[in-house]
Structure 1
Amino acid sequence: MPVGTFDAWDTAVLISILVVSALIGIYYRFAGGQQKTTQEYLMADQSMTTFPVSFSLMASFMSAISLMGVSNESYEFGTMFCVINISYILSTPIAANIFLPVFYRMRTTSVYEYLERRFGQTTRLSASLAFTVQMVLYMGIALYAPALALEAVTNIPRSWAIVVIGLVCTFYSTLGGLKAVLITDVFQSFLMFAAIFSVIAVSAIKAGGFAAIWEVAVERGRIQFDEFSLDPTVRHTWWSLIIGGMVTYLSLYGVNQTQVQRLLSVHNLKSAQSALWWNLPILGMLSFSTIFSGLAIFYYYRDCDPVLEGRIEKRDQVMPLFALDTMGQYPGLCGLFVSGIFSASLSTISSAVTSLSAVTLEDYLKPLYKAIFKRTLVDSKSTLPTKIVACIFGLLCVGLAFVAGSMGGVLQASLTIFGVVGGPLLAIFTLGVCTTRTNQRGVLLGFLVSLIISFWMGFGGPKPKPITMEFSTAGCENATALLAHAIELSANSSPVVIEPHYFWLYRISYLWLSVIGFIIAVAVGYGSSIVLVHFGWAENAEIYVDKFQRELDYDLFAPMLSRRWRRQAEQKKQTAEDETLTKLTQQ
């Protein structure tokens, strides 16, 4: 099997990509308003167009995790995961027409300000803290993934890769603000597609066409779309991918600070909705091409799996190893591939840094400043602290990346993090946008119970390892030695293998975590709100008896509901006036 090297040309390409990203940050530091206000630094002065925002929405979360995790998913488990794209189609209209209009009316920097207006300050702070924990953990995974890739194809240790990527990302995010992040996302998105397409193209050339790749995938059982089991312990089924995918998608694209902050950077609501809809085909194209790239890689290693051969330790490294084996003979091509993975990670981390600095300023620093100094922190004095916070989060990301390797496969680890926190967070916003009878104490109780159960299920253990598909070593050069080693292991093992008993909740598919968290938070939050009002234990319990007995801020509810309730309130008011007029007439 031919093996190339990561040579000077590849290194030059990689360095060029990092330099361009840094230069974009420098440019936007001195262009326009020079990032002197938080409105420009965090919201891009709401002057962005649909095109960069739609690409940035994709790049924010579907980045290095997608390139390596989804590719390895089809290589190791088959194509079942592509069904999740149906959930994206079903969820986009919900995000665009129910949640986005509510946030756009408020035009707030932090999405969690909505929760304060709807429920109270405690709810806002609780949700904001949960988001902060979620994004900090995710940043570590996102930075670890490309570092793993670089280590597999070069002699540079992953520790150096983590430091270099983290510092470059922190540099341009801190200097250029949201404008720099959005423009670099577009640049880096094209590199991501270039990396995926290069994998597919090289494999197709060696296979003699795409048909050969597909035929081998069919023969070896990689093409799988028929898992309709209702068993929640089955890792991927149509139900878990569609339902779990919808909750995860809505928690990211409907109520997540990172994505809403981007959507609010455009001129008007229609442009924001267009950006969300245009993100759908971009996201789908990346998803399907990345899944096919896993099949393309499997074709190349169909008779000699590199993990069984001992060339790499984890299958998360298969994709970069493939690049080294097949692209290293072409100057600069392997460097372009690694640059795509680096770019994917840069876009994700920069997005997280920007959103975390916005939340820290609006939800923590400003309230703290007001509590201490009894006055509001003005915009002219808040830009520098915001940049310092962005820098701190970038450096924190570097530290967390060093421990991310212990969290398992990068795809499942990232989706577990978002499922554990995303489901309960989505539930809070759903209760706020779609109900009138929920109150702060009830919602907080549901949120807390949901988080405890979700974290227990997501990170408790021990958990069974997912069952992978079969791999072969028949074509390896040292196949005889590998077979002898396998026979020796079998001879030394117990003749009867007893699988350890795993607690049922630990066997549930990670895709159901977000769904379970969402259902628990909604059920407990709504139910406890009703109970608290009934016994008079809720704050201002009397106002929740009838939604029309109090003045509703209709801007805090989904458009279709707010219009309906406004009409009902007007009709009730008109009826009351008519009755009063009738009584006066009779008198």
Structure 2
Amino acid sequence: MSSQAPPIVDDEECRPQISFFQWPDYVVLALMLLVSAAIGIFFGIQARRQKASTDDILVGGRQMATFPMAMSLLASFMSAVTLLGNPAEMYNYGTQFVVIGVGYIMVSPVTAYVFMPVYHRLALTSAYEYLEMRFNKWVRLIGCVIFTLHMITYLPIVVYAPALALNQVTGLDTYAAVSIIFAVCIFYTSVGGIKAVIWTDTFQVLMMFAGMMAVVFKGTVDVGGADFVWQKTVESGRAEFFNMNTDPRERHSFWTMTVGGSFLWIATYAASQAQIQRFLTVPTEKQAVRAIWINCIGLVALLLVCCWGGLVMYANYFDCDPLISGKVKASDQLLPLFVMDTMGSLPGMPGLFTAGIFSGSLSTVSTGLSSLAAITLKDFLIGAFKMELKDSRQASLAKWISLIYGIICFGIVFLVAQIGGVLQAALSVNGMVGGPILGLFSLGILIPWVNWKGAFSGGIVGLVFVGWMGFGAQVEAALGNLSYPKKLLSVAGCNCTTGVLPAPPLPGSYPDIFPLYAVSYMWYAPIGWCITTLIGIAVSWMTKFNDPREMDKRLFSPVLIAIMDKLPLSWQEKVNWPLKPAKKEGCENSGFEFEAENEKVQKSEDENTHKF
């Protein structure tokens, strides 16, 4: 399926050229790093003076304000992968990817009204505490292990992306850039705790938007305006929003983006410790709901800015593709090259862009490290190994755990440095683990009759099946048996080559490999969710369903409870409903004692709703 490029002429214009920062660019970048570190120092000093508790370090004392929490949600996974990958996606494959914005919108009501209230009312610290409350410690352990493995493989990917950008625009060694990112991030995360993470996230989101907006605005003006950009998009066949092909092997279609994208991002926000931990930092559910909707607006805005940036890049290089001409070696270097071509003469502007890329990576890594610290402390040390630790000891350990995980991820980044497309690689990993994890939480929160045997079996089968699909696809891609045609790329306007690339194959032309390996990576999350839930229900049925009336009402979604309570009484009796009121002593089937009473969880709603 891959097309052969025209021959490259050995001309000086064609050889890769490295542009270097001017001193104002280094100043801008250094200031961003210094501000991030200073925030960590500030909250570290504050924590020492106030003798911060474990809650202060891991969930901000549950007293954070709405807006910074919303910005932290936005920064957590809209990382350098987004800033570099989305424009490259538009440049190479067209606009179909932008339809994933539907998934961004869908995630908000589902997370805010179906899942989040359960976590908030139980006053959790680790999301996976819920799995023990609802099922047992073995199901909890599955969730913890999956998330931990996910984070320590995902974080190196999002660190390598900005290092690549810095290498392209400054010539600084890639691994030196990686070292700088990890050093700063580990410092402020381990010193300042979740408060430092959230406030640095807020600052870094502003840097991300500022960097991308500057590039997109300047690029649009220089290339001839928005009309010219859209004209070139249409002429090249890149304007595609409604590819209604239902074949699951189609890499990006309307269905993969809306259905697959919705499952992927619901898994990210409703069933991931990284995001759930942030919901728990604000005092009330109302604040958490408001933050989720603010985050939604930010997600869509950043998506549109990044995607438009990719179209602007194509309008600039439509007749002299940098990849074919040899100016860059990978798609993820396209945006940094474009920045230097359009803004290299403006002192400080390349530095602003690179600061935005750094910010995206820093925010994601700090999110991962803080969530890993919470899980290791609460789920492994205290939950699994039953260690009895004083609160002051827990707070100290949480900081050291962040440091250790940072060092581990720093080491792993050298193993993933050869990955070419950071966007697809990151989303593939998220989909493979996100679907089964979302399935586990869905079984617990939405299907009261499922027992621990069903959840355990469903989680294992779902993860193994989707992991097999993803691993098989990666092997086939490495062997050259699985690739996807790019949109038309030309080199007719530069002296390096002559001609244009051949037109891509007609729709419906797919590689002749095992069908499941050819399935679009965007289907991994819904497939994992479906397998996990179906196996969970089937095994629970074979081993005797739970009786929901013997379980605590707080374990289930308020949306489910409202629907079930409206059913006729005769129907309720057939499915063992209604539920009993919440019990202070905990959930009978798990033996896990709740840490907060209903009154404590619901306290002071009216007093705190003014916080924003």
Are 1:35 and 1:41, in contact at CA under 8 Å, matched by a contact in 2?
no
Instruction: Give the distance between the partners of 1:200 and 1:251, measured in 2 at CA.
Output: 30
Residue 414 of structure 2 is aligned to residue 402 of structure 1: yes
Matching residue of 1:16: 31
Could you say which structure has the larger radius of gyration?
A: 1
- In structure 2, do the counterparts of structure 1 residues 199 and 110 end up closer, same or farther at CA, with 3 Å as the change threshold? same
Q: What is the 5 A alignment of 1:165-180?
A: 165-180=181-196
Which structure's residues are more often helix, by fraction? Answer: 1
How far residue 545 of structure 1 moved from its aligned partner, in angstroms, is 6.1
Distance 1:81 1:570 in 2: 44
Q: Deviations over 1:120-158 (max 9, x none)?
A: 000001111001111111101110110111111111111
Write the deviation string for residues 150-197 of structure 1: whole angstroms up to 9, x where unpaired: 111111111111111011100001111111111111111111111111
Contact residue 52 and residue 186 of structure 1 kept, 8 A:
yes
Aligned residue pairs total 546
C-alpha contact (below 8 Å) 2:436/2:529 kept by paired residues: yes
SS of the equivalent of 1:406 reads coil
Counterpart of 2:521 in structure 1 is 510
1:490 is aligned to none
Q: Deviations over 1:328-373 (max 9, x none)?
A: 11111111111100011000100110001000000011135536xx
Map of 2:453 onto structure 1: 441
Residue matched to 2:21 = 6
1:557 and 2:570 matched: no
Q: CA deviation at 1:408?
A: 3.6
In 2, Cα distance between equivalents of 1:383 and 1:428: 29
Correspondence for 2:94 among 52, 58, 78:
78
Change (3 A) 1:574 1:20: closer
1:519 matches 2:535: no
1:153 aligned to 2:164?
Answer: no
* Distance across 2 between alignment mates of 1:403 and 1:275: 36
2:476 equivalent in structure 1:
462
Inter-partner Cα distance in structure 2 for 1:250 and 1:505: 23
Output the CA distance in 2 between the equivalents of 1:70 and 1:465.
18
- In the alignment, the residues of structure 1 paired with residue 424 and residue 327 of structure 2 have an alpha-carbon distance, to the nearest angstrom, of 23
Match of 1:240 in 2: 256
Q: Give the Å deviation of 1:405.
A: 3.0
Residue of structure 2 equivalent to 1:537: none
Match of 2:79 in 1: 63
CA contact (8 A) 1:3 1:326 kept: no
For residues 222-301 of structure 1, the aligned pairs below 5 Å read: 222-301=238-317
- For 2:383 and 2:444, how far apart are their aligned partners in 1? 22
Q: Deviation at 1:571?
A: 8.7
Corresponding residue to 1:476 among 491, 494, 499: 494
Aligned residues of 1:29 and 1:35 also touching (Cα < 8 A): no
Stretch moving more, 468-477 or 418-427: 468-477
Q: Give the equivalent residue in structure 2 for 1:580.
A: none
1:273 partner letter = V
With over 3 angstroms needed to count, the CA separation of the structure-2 counterparts of 1:564 and 1:228, relative to structure 1, is closer
Contact 2:450/2:537 (CA < 8 Å) preserved in 1? yes
Between the aligned partners of 1:254 and 1:28, the Cα distance in structure 2 is 28
Alpha-carbon shift at residue 205 of structure 1 (Å): 2.2
Q: Could you tell me which runs of 5 or more consecutive residues in structure 2 were left unpaired when the two chains were aligned.
A: 1-12, 503-508, 579-612
Match among 326, 329, 334 for residue 310 of structure 1: 326
Identity of aligned residues (%): 39
Q: SS at 2:521's partner residue?
A: coil
1:508 maps to amino acid: V
Which shifted more, 287-296 or 197-206? 197-206
Q: 2:403 aligns with which of 386, 391, 394?
A: 391
CA deviation digits over 1:506-527, x for unaligned, max 9? 1100000111111000101111
Q: Tell me the secondary structure at the aligned position of residue 99 of structure 2.
A: helix
Question: Could you list the runs of 5+ residues in structure 1 that have no partner in the other structure?
Answer: 488-497, 534-543, 576-587
1:181-229 residue CA offsets vs partner (Å, 9 max, x unmatched):
1111111111111111111122122123221111111111221112001
CA distance in structure 1 between the aligned counterparts of 2:261 and 2:142, rounded to whole angstroms: 24
Q: 1:12 to 1:377 in 2, by over 3 A?
A: same
**Any idea what SS the aligned residue of 1:370 has?**
coil
Given residue 470 of structure 1, which amino acid in structure 2 is its aligned partner? L
Q: Matched residues in 2 for 1:23 and 1:574: separation?
A: 54
2:338 to 311, 322, 344: 322
| TM-score of the superposed pair, with normalisation by structure 2 | 0.86
Whether contact under 8 Å (1:167, 1:395) holds in the other structure is no
